Amino acid sequence: MKEPVGLFTPCDWLTMWEGYRETKPKRHNHEPGVKYWKRLAERSEDMHEKAARTERANRVLSFIERTFPLTPGICVLDVGAGDGTLSIPLAQKGVKVTALDVTSDTLEVLEKKARLAQVHIETVCADWREIDLHQYNWTKEFDLVIASHTAAVSTQANFFKLEEASRDAVYYASFTKPHHNHFQDVLWPKIIGEEIAKLNYGVYFVFNWLYARGIIASVEEFTIQFQKTEEFMEVLKEFYEYYSIFTDLTQERKQIIEQVVYDKAKNGMVTRPIKMTTGSMIWHVNSANDDRMHTEGSTK
């Protein structure tokens, strides 16, 4: 008689999640990354990109409200807030938002957008990975903590802090499928020297880790598609900054990038089809019988 197959424990899922993270590309330089995200925050968006941004925010807030009502006056912490994709529409609902990001320039863009939207958002420039919640008096301080597509929770220890800061719910989102991106598919192996990893399933490790703890998270996956058209030089600058995050950008590598972008340009403009699939999750942090089970396993 065969032995019954044992269920994975929370520790097992943490171990598998850690193994998945090791397949993701490593960042080589911090400063180019700061410059890259600042430029993306400051750039002008065309009508298609603005519409996609609004659609994404509406989908996320609608999904959250099916589990956690966004009533005026509740306190929300947006970890890795960027230029306010979620912070601003949250504040427009009367929610008290604290937006945290490691880049002061990006937060300045958020503050400018918040003024234009006539909402107040408290901004904190700090690295979530280094924050001591006790020092900030943030332990169980927020009704909802959100972390959407941010490297700030790229380790398990920093992910656990989301629950520690929340007294009720946590929202987490990451990509769940490879992007359909011609430039990335062509340039990555030429510049980095290896095929780009196609795995983007981190959100599912989190779901199963929660399930093994007795927590049933609400999950939704949705896809946003649009076309972005920009001037040749703007696209070139973006790719220079992006690939500088992962490697030293030699003159030879710059020439490779320039040729690939030039081949797709028409009349000095470059059109890029964008397709992104996001996995969103929300759960109540006190819904498990043993809320300390996540202390098992790696916290690297």
* Selection from 239, 292, 232 nearest residue 262 by Cα: 232
How many CB atoms neighbour CB 131 within 10 A? Answer: 18
Q: List Cβ neighbours of 171 (8 Å cut-off, separation of 6 or more).
A: 60, 64, 68, 144, 145, 146, 147, 148, 280, 281, 282
For residues 211 and 217, give the distance between their C-alpha atoms in angstroms, rounded to a whole number: 8
Q: pLDDT digit of tens for each residue in the chain (300 aa)?
A: 454 445 688 888 777 777 766 666 555 555 655 666 666 665 656 677 778 888 889 999 999 999 999 999 999 999 999 999 999 999 999 999 999 998 888 899 999 999 999 999 999 999 999 999 999 999 999 999 999 988 888 788 898 999 999 999 999 998 777 665 678 878 888 888 876 655 455 678 888 888 888 888 999 998 888 888 889 998 998 899 888 888 888 999 999 999 999 999 999 999 988 888 888 999 999 865 444 444 444 333
For residues 272 and 186, give the distance between their C-alpha atoms in angstroms, rounded to a whole number: 13
Only one residue has tokens 């290896």, namely 194
For residues 217 and 28, give the distance between their C-alpha atoms in angstroms, rounded to a whole number: 34
Full DSSP string of 201-234? -HHHHHHHHHHHTT---EEEEEEEEEEEEEEHHH
Q: What is the pTM of this model?
A: 0.80
For residues 54 and 66, give the distance between their C-alpha atoms in angstroms, rounded to a whole number: 19
